[in-house]
Each structure stands twice: as C-alpha cells, then as structure tokens.
Amino acid sequence: MTGQVHHVDTTAKLVTMINQIVRNTAREKDQIAAIADHIHAFWTVRMQQQLLEHGSTGLDPVAVAVMARLAPGIRAPHDA
C-alpha cells in the first residue's frame, strides 16, 4: 500500500509540475513544442509514462496536448 500512496503523491506532483511549465511558457511561439522539448530533456521515461498513464485529470488543456504529442515517442532524456 505504501508504494501506491507514493505513486499517487508523485503523480500529483507531476501534474502540478507540468501545469506550472504551461503557465511559465505561455508566451512561447510554439508552446507545445517548447514544453515537449523540456520534458524530453529533463524528465525520466518513468515520469513521462506515469503522467501519461494518469490521463488528463487535472491537466491544463495545453498539457494534455503536450502529452498526446509525447505519447508515441517517450524516450529517455537526451536520446536521439
């Protein structure tokens, strides 16, 4: 049960993080691409997969679009 609680807490943190990134990149010309690049560069595969498995609950609509863009190509940071 402890692992499950940890997973929920981590997922909530990831939701908060991506929503903050959305707010902080609001003026980017291609906001979705900028956020996707950031996530590819700095988030682990596990973080990306966990947020993808979470679904769209609590996510800003821009974050939902980012996750849809990332879903087919989730990869480790700095992978080619």
Task: Please compute the mean of the pLDDT values over residues 22-32 and round it to a whole number.
Answer: 96
3-state helix, strand, coil in the chain (%, to 5): 70, 0, 30
Alpha helices in 25-80 (DSSP H): 31-42, 45-54, 61-70
- The CA angle 50-55-61, to the nearest 5 degrees, is 115
Mean pLDDT score, 48-68: 94
pLDDT of residue 70: 87
Report which of residues 48 and 7 the model is more confident about.
48
Domain extent listing, the chain = 2-73
Q: For the chain, give the mean pLDDT.
A: 86
Residue 37 is predicted with a pLDDT of 93
Q: How far is CA 22 from CA 3, 41, 52, 58, 72, in A?
A: 28, 16, 16, 13, 20
